[in-house]
Every structure is written in structure tokens, then in C-alpha cells.
Structure 1
């Protein structure tokens, strides 16, 4: 984000992190939601309570997935592997849609993706949760998964990984996957390629700097705590 903006308020300093924003606002992420600071990105109490919106945070990004916007096209999966693995291989995609398709209880129930039941065209977009106490990290026998210093994302060191699959088994959401071609584990590093390529805006990677600017513009925080010196 640049040092200038068109809103007339002072610009926030560069390299704002999650910790900076929450300190500036004097509340947690839940407080930002309740206060309406994230509404312009579709994040409200109602959208979260309904299950439409899922919110995840890393030190540098807020990741928002919107079930109502996902058409199930799987472009995110394809683009993820194309960028990170050099080929399209949705089995090892770091973002998952296909795994969460709901086809209905049976052919004649009228529910699921082929029926007319409520939510028939809403698909769950699953991301790595980037857990603070990550089980994949804890159970890796060779300590091949670490937190990237810049992004905070849990990342696989491919030189150390032995492809045992313990990270996948330990993860409650089965997010890491062992690539059978390379013999090492793959997992999300919050690169944002899936969001860039989603045709419907179902995935958003929002910079904390943009959120900081929003709470300044709306008067949620004093600008003196965040403006460039």
C-alpha cells in the first residue's frame, strides 16, 4: 500500500502487522468484526454466524473465504499447484474445494449440488488454518515444518522432509499432503495465488495495512498511533 490515499486521512506506516492493528484498535479480531471495521470485505457478525464467511489470520494477512461466492469451479486448486508445483495436480492443492462438495443424501432427496435444496451451490473453501500451536509442526519427526519469519505461515523445508505423512495425519483438517512425485509434503504458505485467480472473489487475502487504514478512516483509532513518522 502506498503512503498516500484519497480519503483525506493520514496514511498508515508501512509493514503493519496483525499485532499492530489489534493494539491500535484496542480489541481483538472479534472486536473488529463487531465494530464493523471489516464490513467492506463482507465480514460481519451475521455472515460469520450463518457459516457463509470463514475468517483466518496470519501476522501479515487476513484470509476471508465466502461460501456464497464459491461456484465450485476449482480454479483456485489448479492455480495453486501450477504456481507452487509447476503442474496442475489438485490432490496436493493447498486450498480445497472438491473435498467439500455435497452431492446430497441420495438421488431423489432434492438436496446437495444437483438438487434444489438450500445452499446447494455453496461450497466450502478450505485453507490451512496456520494454527498457533500447529499439530503438523509438533508431530513432524524431523522438524521440517517451521514458521516463516516474514509471513508467519507454517512452511515445509523440502530438504528436511522425508515424506512420512505424519503432518497430514496429525492435522485435524488433513491439510498437508505428500506429493507422490517429489516425495515431500506440501502445505499452504499463504502466497495468495488462489485469491488472485478466483473469478468470483470467494477468497480474499487482505493486508493488515489496509485494515489499519480502514479503522483510521472510520475513527476507530487515533491516527497518531499509526501514521508515518
Structure 2
């Protein structure tokens, strides 16, 4: 299974067997296909550990990602072949600008009900009973978006196979020309991430475009290039430049 077909979370990362070259085998020349120099697979291979190992090793600490911040529920990590996505609840002020800019870019209008990143769902009382979160608790808001699952239920239960991995980003996307708007993807998703756009009659979901992160005034959402993480791993002495070019 290729990088563009598989996305991982901290809980499912497995350390690779051996270092690999930073250039993907069989990749097209830069003039034919634009690809990042480092991908998730090459970074994890050259460091010899999974995402959890990068966290424990302190490689991600400069982005606020530590074992303590993850354990407390403040930080959530998701990964795609090209990016690591970090959401920090403590930085979210509940302004909902992410929702507005998400739909403005992807749908041409601000429409909270179909936003691919969502704060409003947990705005008042948090993500569940007795969480003491939300505006009536401690003012920490849950920033919810697609988990980019390894085994995506939305794609598995789509009766017309309208959901697939984007070739460039690896994110699951909906083919609107194929989607029939039945809502099975939303029902199958444990987090109810896909929503049906009443105007188009098709499903919408996060495609990891990064617009929410670009427009967040507090830095509550970050899209981090794997190349930056690779450089940090080198700076921290987790891996050497010799390992990068080692076959």
C-alpha cells in the first residue's frame, strides 16, 4: 500500500525496519511530478521510529507536541504522507474562523453546517457530558476534523465508491461526480465527519487543504511539512545526514 493510500495516527504508527533513501523509489522526475523531498515514510524510516518515537524523543516539542500535552487531551496529531497536522485545544478561542475560511475556499460561501473542520459542535459543553469543556466550562474547544483513518469506514461503506485517496496529498476526498448524497459515509464515520451539502446533494469532508491553519489567528491548527520535521530530527541529533542518503 502506497503513501497516498494509507494515513496513520500516533496509535497506529509502527517503526520501520531500516533506513531508506530520502528520494522515493520509482518516483517521477521533479519536472514530471511535483513531490516533497521528504514524506512521512522516509522521515520515519530514517529516524528508525514511529510518530510516538518522535514525540518521546522531543523532536516535535518545538510545535508544542509532548507526551504530557497528548496525554492531557490538549494536543491531537494526524498524519498524511506530506504533512503532520497538529491541533491544540488550549490555543483555540472558539472564534470559528477556521469553519468560515474552510467553506469559503472549498464551497465559495461561508456555511458552517458543511465546514470540514468544526468547533461549533462542541462549543457550549465540550465533546461530551462531564468534560467541563466549552464556553460553559473551561473555554477549551474541541477542534474536530477528519482523522484520515488507516481503515476509513466512510470509504468502506460508500455504495458507489466515491471516496478515494488523493494522489498528491493522500487525504481521503469525495468525488462529487460519483457521490449520490446517500449519507452512508457520515453514518459509518465514528466521528460523523462527512456532511451532506443540502445545496449540492453531495458529501463533503476534510481534504487537508490547510486553509484552516493558514487563517487561525491563534495557531491552534498547524500543518507541518515532513521536511521540517526531518530537519528538526537532524538538529536534535536523532538522525545524521549519513542516514538520510543511506540505501
The question of a shared fold, defined as TM-score above 0.5 by the shorter chain, is answered with yes
- Where in structure 1 do 4 or more consecutive aligned residues deviate above 3 Å? 111-115
Alignment match, 2:197:
179
Alignment match, 1:165:
183
Report how far residue 101 of structure 1 moved.
1.7
Partner secondary structure for residue 82 of structure 1: helix
| Residue 22 (str. 1) matches residue 49 (str. 2) | no
CA distance in 1, matches of 2:135, 2:49: 43
Partner secondary structure for residue 87 of structure 2: strand
CA distance in 2, matches of 1:37, 1:56: 16
- Aligned positions of 1:66-81 closer than 5 A: 66-81=88-103
Q: CA RMSD in A?
A: 1.7
Candidates 209, 214, 228, aligned match of 1:210: 228
Partner secondary structure for residue 231 of structure 2: helix
CA distance in 2, matches of 1:112, 1:36: 28
**Residues 36-80 of structure 1: CA deviation (Å, up to 9, x unaligned):** 000000000110011110111111110100010000000000000
CA distance in 2, matches of 1:153, 1:174: 17
Q: Which runs of 5+ in 1 are unaligned?
A: 1-11, 105-110
Matched residue pairs, number? 208
Closer/same/farther in 2, CA of residues 100 and 41 from structure 1, 3 Å limit: same
Closer/same/farther in 2, CA of residues 35 and 114 from structure 1, 3 Å limit: closer
- Aligned positions of 1:127-146 closer than 5 A: 127-146=145-164
CA distance in 2, matches of 1:143, 1:100: 30
Check conservation: 2:123, 2:135, Cα contact below 8 A. Answer: no
CA distance in 2, matches of 1:84, 1:193: 9
Closer/same/farther in 2, CA of residues 71 and 137 from structure 1, 3 Å limit: same
After TM superposition, the score normalised by the length of structure 1 is 0.87
Alignment match, 2:215:
197
Report how far residue 15 of structure 1 moved.
2.4
CA distance in 2, matches of 1:214, 1:31: 14
Alignment match, 1:5:
none
Report how far residue 16 of structure 1 moved.
0.8
After TM superposition, the score normalised by the length of structure 2 is 0.81
Alignment match, 2:170:
152
CA distance in 1, matches of 2:77, 2:227: 17
Report how far residue 226 of structure 1 moved.
2.7
